[in-house]
Amino acid sequence: MAQKAQKYFMPKPPAIVFDLGKVLVDFDYGINARRLAAHSRCSADEIRHALDQSALLHRYESGQLTTAAFFDEMRAAIGYTGGFAEFCRIFGDIFTAIEPMIDLHARLRVADFSTYIFSNTNELAIRHIRENFPFFAGFDDFIFSFEHGAMKPELKLYEVVEQRTGRRGAELLYIDDRQENIATARPRGWQTILHETPEKTRAALRTLGLEV
């Protein structure tokens, strides 16, 4: 007689680590590309190409460029004629909240879970989010690529997460929308959820015994 399959649960994680872009907030470089194009010699499509996953943006988000140096290189690349303050305001304003995930995070906080943000990002993006999205203040700590000279999926940045949280292995549950970022966490024993939709992520949490 066949035995009934058993359902195994990972231990409840005391620390939950969220990616930021496409998990808690959506973003669209087309927004700032269109606004910058009004003050540049390049079209919006050309500016978006200069930003989205570009070598220049990678240098900025990995801490190789200060914000002032990034502005100087962008100004030269696209022929931007506006001022620094205007550029900073335009560049950061590309985000919209993913409300079901914001609600999920709030529920986890009510349930006394420690939560962290772990993101490939830049100073201007974080400045804008801090000023405009109140949920952002509700995390225990933040690990940003531009502050540590490395970007996911580089191992160095995962070690920073472990140092900052004081957690290791299955004591960490990591939610990210990119498979390559998840792939670095798994060999370290982290619990992981590949985020596709808020509904699927919530279901994955329930599978792990987190009823939120």
Do 39 and 127 belong to one domain? no
Q: Give the model's pLDDT for residue 162.
A: 98
Domain boundary, last residue among 64, 92, 120: 92
Do 104 and 203 belong to one domain? yes
Do 117 and 146 belong to one domain? yes
Do 116 and 179 belong to one domain? yes
Q: Mean pLDDT across the stretch 52-80? A: 95
Side chain identity at residue 143, one-letter code: I
The domain tally of the chain equals 2
Asked if pLDDT for residue 53 goes beyond 50, the answer is yes
Q: Give the model's pLDDT for residue 11.
A: 54
Is the residue at 193 inside a domain? yes
Domain boundary, last residue among 92, 108, 135: 92
Quote the pTM value: 0.91
Do 124 and 23 belong to one domain? yes
Domain boundary, last residue among 47, 74, 92: 92
Do 201 and 137 belong to one domain? yes
Is the residue at 153 inside a domain? yes
CA dist 29 and 12 (Å) reads: 37
Is the residue at 43 inside a domain? yes
Is the residue at 197 inside a domain? yes
pLDDT, tens digit, 9 for 90 and up, residues 164-205: 999 999 999 999 999 999 999 999 999 999 999 999 999 999
- Do the beta carbons of residue 56 and residue 69 sit within 8 Å? no
As given in the structure block, the two tokens for residue 65 are 């460029």
Burial of 170 (0-12, 13-18, 19+ CB in 10 A): middle
Is the residue at 6 inside a domain? no
- Do the beta carbons of residue 147 and residue 112 sit within 8 Å? no
Do 48 and 146 belong to one domain? no
| DSSP string of 92-111, one letter each residue | H--EEE-HHHHHHHHHHHHT
CA-based nearest residue to 95, from 9, 164, 15, 20? 20
DSSP helix/strand/coil, 53: coil
- Do the beta carbons of residue 35 and residue 90 sit within 8 Å? yes
Do 76 and 141 belong to one domain? no
pLDDT, tens digit, 9 for 90 and up, residues 75-130: 999 999 999 999 999 999 999 999 999 999 999 999 999 999 999 999 999 999 99
Distance of CA 109 to the CA centre of its chain: 19
CA dist 179 and 55 (Å) reads: 21
The CATH number given to whatever domain includes residue 172 is 3.40.50.1000
Burial of 157 (0-12, 13-18, 19+ CB in 10 A): buried
Is the residue at 7 inside a domain? no
Do 139 and 176 belong to one domain? yes
Q: Give the model's pLDDT for residue 48.
A: 93
Which are the contacts of 115, defined by CB distance < 8 A and separation ≥ 6?
Answer: 15, 16, 17, 18, 105, 108, 109, 138, 139, 140
Do 124 and 197 belong to one domain? yes
- Do the beta carbons of residue 95 and residue 26 sit within 8 Å? yes
Do 194 and 112 belong to one domain? yes
- Provide, rounded to the nearest whole percent, the portion of the chain with pLDDT above 90: 89
Do 107 and 56 belong to one domain? no
Is the residue at 9 inside a domain? no
The CA–CA distances, whole Å, from 122 to 12, 128, 183 equal: 32, 10, 23
Is the residue at 74 inside a domain? yes
Residue-range definition of the domain harbouring residue 58: 29-92
As given in the structure block, the two tokens for residue 156 are 């160095």
CA dist 5 and 128 (Å) reads: 49
The CATH number given to whatever domain includes residue 83 is 1.10.150.240
Q: Give the model's pLDDT for residue 14.
A: 78
